[in-house]
Amino acid sequence: AAEIPMIAVEGHEGHFSRCVRFNEIDWEALPPGAKKVNERVVPGAPVLKIEDLRKYYKVGGSEVFGSSEGRVVKANETISFMARESET
């Protein structure tokens, strides 16, 4: 398979795309049935609230790296956030 070249994105210095049809896309067009909204949307009540979330991953050991025992990788420590209606 041939390598797909990086194409410069016109008007955005240093940005490139591998999509060979990138320049054919109408970036201002809305999807069929979509309506353009000009008024500000006020966020509603919370629909999701997370407090002090922790996420750990167990990874296996490897003789190659000097350990046959697994270990734990901490992906997140005490992350908190909230999502409201109209924000999701």
Nearby residues of 19 by Cβ (< 8 Å), 6 or more positions away: 7, 25
Does residue 35 belong to any structural domain of this protein?
Answer: no
Q: Which residues constitute the domain of residue 19? A: 7-29+40-84
Tens-digit pLDDT profile for residues 34-67: 888 778 888 999 999 999 999 999 887 766 666 6
pLDDT for residue 20 is more than 90: no
Does residue 2 belong to any structural domain of this protein?
Answer: no
- The count of domains in the chain is 1
Does residue 72 belong to any structural domain of this protein?
Answer: yes
In the predicted model, what is the mean pLDDT of the chain?
Answer: 87
C-alpha distances (whole Å) from 42 to each of 22, 48, 55, 87 are 34, 17, 32, 9
Does residue 1 belong to any structural domain of this protein?
Answer: no
- pLDDT attached to residue 15: 94
Does residue 75 belong to any structural domain of this protein?
Answer: yes
pLDDT for residue 88 is more than 80: no
- pLDDT attached to residue 67: 64
